[in-house]
Chains A and B, each alone.
Chain A
Amino acid sequence: MSQIKRLVLDVLKPHEPTNVEVASAIGDLQDVDGVNLSLYEVDQQTENVKITVEGPNVNYDLVQQTIENLGGVVHSVDEIIAGKKLVEEEETLHDRG
């Protein structure tokens, strides 16, 4: 199976643990080179965050397990890059329109 190079996840999490703790926990996983976590919505009980994970061979199940263990829920997988190299999304005429 192809190796996952980048994952972008939409995650709903409680306020505790903090975003710093969540990002650190995912960053500590094997084959994860870096994590970008950005907050885009907050309410009284929860926070919506976008988590971008990059590495030579990111294990999605492990990332999901880590997020769930920290009390979060993966709402959707918004972007996946798999294969031998990182392939960015190309803009088409339709997108430019």
Chain B
Amino acid sequence: MSFNIEEGRYVILGSIDGLLATLGIILGVSVVSASNSIVVSAGFGGAIALALTNGLGSYLAESTIEHGKLVKTEKSLLRKLNNTYVESQSKKRIVKDALTHGGASFLASLVPLAPWILGVGSAFVSGFLSLITLVALGVYSGYISKQNYIMSVAKMVGLGTLIIITVELLRIVHLV
């Protein structure tokens, strides 16, 4: 499956969602329990829920937008586009976007979970792997947008770190 610029949006959206939300779950659960199985269970539950909501959400959103575009085009052509190549391509785009968004979310969720699945889990290792993934996403973002790679990586890592710090602060506040 190749990705164009439009689909890159869902790769980035889904990946950030899956990565940081799952990391947040891991950081939260690992405070109250050091048990691998509990962290993996909670993390997987979150990963699957995120993947499904992202995928279904995209499906519904894209269906709405694509249908609106088709109706607009039909109006200009003064004809219906049912059962045409145009309609079939529109449907393919909807499915591809939904699978990309949900799939990217699930795959990125596995990054912070991986050390726990392998039995060597720690909040630090999960955080470090997530950071590396954010760097990769920053490079990808720079590639798609044809902007400065360093700026893209800095933005991605900076925002991701901000989210992690916020989660940690909320965790500490809750414990206190």
Question: Could you say which residues of chain A place their CB within 8 Å of the CB of B85?
Answer: 17, 69-71
Question: Could you say which residues of chain A place their CB within 8 Å of the CB of B86?
Answer: 14, 16-17, 70-71
Question: Could you say which residues of chain A place their CB within 8 Å of the CB of B1?
Answer: none
The chain B residue sitting closest to A72, CB to CB, is B77
Chain A 48-63 near chain B by CB (<8 Å), digits 1 or 0: 0000000000000000
B73 with A73: CB separation less than 8 A: no
CB of B33 within 8 A of chain A? Answer: no
Interface residues in B64-83 by Cβ distance below 8 A to A read 72-73, 75-79, 81
With contacts A16-B89, A17-B89 taken as known, whether A46 is within 8 angstroms of B76 at the C-beta atoms is yes
Report the minimum CB–CB distance from A39 to chain B (whole Å).
Answer: 16
CB of B2 within 8 A of chain A? Answer: no
Which of the listed residues A14, A17, A45 has the most CB atoms from chain B within 10 Å of its own CB?
A: A14
B76 with A73: CB separation less than 8 A: no
Question: Could you say which residues of chain B place their CB within 8 Å of the CB of A68?
Answer: 79, 84
A70 with B84: CB separation less than 8 A: yes
With contacts A16-B86, A16-B89, A17-B86 taken as known, whether A71 is within 8 angstroms of B72 at the C-beta atoms is no
A45 with B73: CB separation less than 8 A: yes
Question: Could you say which residues of chain A place their CB within 8 Å of the CB of B78?
Answer: 73
Interface size on A, residues (CB 8 A): 14
With the chains together, A65 CA to B75 CA distance in Å?
A: 20
| Cross-chain pairs A/B with CB under 8 angstroms, 6 sampled | A12-B77, A14-B77, A45-B77, A70-B85, A71-B77, A71-B84
Q: Which 9 residue pairs across A and B have the least CB separation, nearest first? A: A71-B86, A45-B76, A14-B73, A46-B76, A70-B85, A71-B84, A45-B73, A69-B84, A73-B79
A-B contacts besides A14-B73, A46-B77, A73-B79, 14 pairs, CB < 8 Å: A12-B77, A13-B77, A14-B76, A14-B81, A16-B89, A17-B85, A45-B73, A45-B76, A45-B77, A46-B73, A46-B76, A71-B73, A71-B81, A73-B78
List residues of B whose CB falls within 8 A of some A CB.
72-73, 75-79, 81, 84-86, 89
